[in-house]
Amino acid sequence: MITDKMTQALNKQMNAELYSAYLYLAMASWASTQGLRGASNWFFVQSREEMTHVWRFYNYVSSQGSQVILDTVAKPPADFETIAKAFAETLVHEQAVTAIINALIGIAHEENDNATAIFLQWYVNEQVEEEESVGEIIDQINLAGPVGGGMLLIDRELGTRVFKMPVGLVAAVA
């Protein structure tokens, strides 16, 4: 059983993950209207991935005998001006999520909750991967410039991203 403080913090993080899914879905829609179908695909896959994060938290909180309490999800922005700005906002957002995950680990240690600290380690690894991936995309966009053949190649590459249900989560949500 996890403490009330830990449960509240994990429920709050679930809401943040839902916001992330909304944000990336909004970015997918915006990119699509800009003719950036590959970027739209990348953001759509990212939105789905964020939902798997929600499910992981949901399953963990429930498995610990605590109640999941869902909250209102904030409305994300709808306009991102340029693809470079959309990915820059993505990086800032992922860095903020990393800070929250680190704070959750701090709470787990304060509460002497080693199981939750271990559970959260998966998210630490995920955030390292997220920030690195987005940073590489930003570097490519900066090298290619916002329009032209280089951006078209980047968009095409972004379109190859495919959603993969994380191992172990399939049975938990099926």
Split at pLDDT 50, 70, 90, the class of 166 is confident
Please, which residues have CB within 8 angstroms of residue 18's CB and are 6 or more apart in sequence?
A: 50, 51, 54, 70, 73
Angle ∠(159,83,13) on CA atoms, nearest 5: 85
pTM attached to this predicted model: 0.92
Residue found under tokens 């399939």: 170
Split at pLDDT 50, 70, 90, the class of 174 is very low
Burial class (CB in 10 A: 0-12, 13-18, 19+), 70: exposed
CA–CA distance, 107 with 117 (Å, rounded to integer): 9
Looking at the predicted structure, is the pLDDT value of residue 173 above 90? no
Number of domains in the chain: 1
Q: What residue numbers bound the domain in which 17 lies?
A: 4-173
Question: What CATH number has the domain bearing residue 109?
Answer: 1.20.1260.10
Tally helices (H) and strands (E) across the chain. 6, 0
Cβ atoms within 10 Å of 98's Cβ, excluding its own: 17
In three-state form (DSSP H/G/I as H, E/B as E, the rest C), the secondary structure along 91-123 is HHHHHHHHHHHHHHHHHHHHCCCHHHHHHHHHH
CA–CA distance, 113 with 93 (Å, rounded to integer): 27
Report pLDDT digits (tens) over 87-144. Answer: 999 999 999 999 999 999 999 999 999 999 999 999 999 999 999 999 999 999 999 9
Query: Are the C-beta atoms of 3 and 111 separated by less than 8 Å?
Result: yes
